[in-house]
Structures are given as C-alpha cells and as structure tokens.
Amino acid sequence: MMVRSAAGLLAVVWVAGVGLAATSAAGADPGARQELPPGQGRDLTLGMCSGECHGVEKFMSEHRSKSQWLDTIDNMKHEGAKGTDEEFKAVTSYLIAHFGVQVKINQATVKQIDDVLDLEPGQAEAIVKYREANGPFADWKALMAVPGLDPKKLEEQKSNVIFS
C-alpha cells in the first residue's frame, strides 16, 4: 500500500487505529485489547506496522536492541514498506523506546549503551566519561546531570535503563 500524502498517511493511521482497538492478542483474553504505549511516533508506528503484512501484536511482545530494530526496519523497507526516511526514523525511535532491551547504565560500555538507547552521536561516550569521572549513577536524576543529554528523548526510554 502506498501513501502519497500526509493526509493519506493520517487516513491510514486512523483506519489502522480503529482496527487496532478491536484487535486482541493471539492467545489472550478475547475481550482484551492491544494498545501501543503513548509516545512520539506512536501513530506512525501504528500506521506502518498494522497493515497488510502484520499487526502490532507481531512486535508488541518482542524486545530488541537498537541495531536489531534498525535491521528489522531495513528488512521491512526491502519487503515493500512505504514511508519517508524521517517516518522510518520516528518509527524506529518509538520501537527502541517502547520495545527495546535494558542496559545496566553503571556497567555498560559505550557500544552497549549506544546499541540500546536512541541517543545522538557521542552521547553514549559522554555518559561513560561522566560515570568514570563522577562514579556510578544513583538514579535517573543523576543520569540527567550528564551535560548534553536530551531529557525528553531519554524520558521515553526510561524503562530501558537499569541502575544496579
């Protein structure tokens, strides 16, 4: 299915959203409804990932690293998924934030942090350098003290960070 305009995409998202409200998970209580968590990119994800190929239940129980979600999105593009680079980026960020894996922020390497969290280039390195200079992060507030981090973007990924 090809969407040629923003209005067309919104129509697809709306129709998919209506369909999602009535979709129940395989093996779940037939009265239970699948809902995607709120967040930036939710509507695009709903529109792109609940179409002819599969529904959202395909990925709602899956948790993957950033590199794994990037590979998944790349495979979807090769299979014919339609969207702009910015739309695919928004969907990938949403999936990483809400269906990602966890990272032990006080033990992880730069590469491990970068593979789990959706950060701007250099931010994983800034986290590790700050941790090495100031000691382990006690909590979310301590992590937010790292200069240059985007608190709003990280807040969506909060469930992917472990402090122990």
Is the pLDDT at 31 greater than 60? The verdict is no
- pLDDT category, 7, cuts 50, 70, 90? very low
What is the structure's pLDDT at 112?
97
Q: Where are the domains of the chain?
A: 6-24+37-99, 103-162
What is the structure's pLDDT at 30?
35
Structure-model confidence comparison of residues 26 and 41, the more confident one: 41
Structure-model confidence comparison of residues 11 and 2, the more confident one: 2
Structure-model confidence comparison of residues 30 and 64, the more confident one: 64
The C-alpha angle 84, 124, 86, rounded to 5 degrees, equals 5
pTM above 0.75, yes or no: no
Q: Mean pLDDT check: name the lowest of 27-31, 69-73, 128-132, 139-143.
A: 27-31
Question: Is 160:144 a contact under the CB 8 Å cutoff?
Answer: no
Is the pLDDT at 150 greater than 80? The verdict is yes
Q: Mean pLDDT check: name the lowest of 31-35, 41-45, 46-50.
A: 31-35
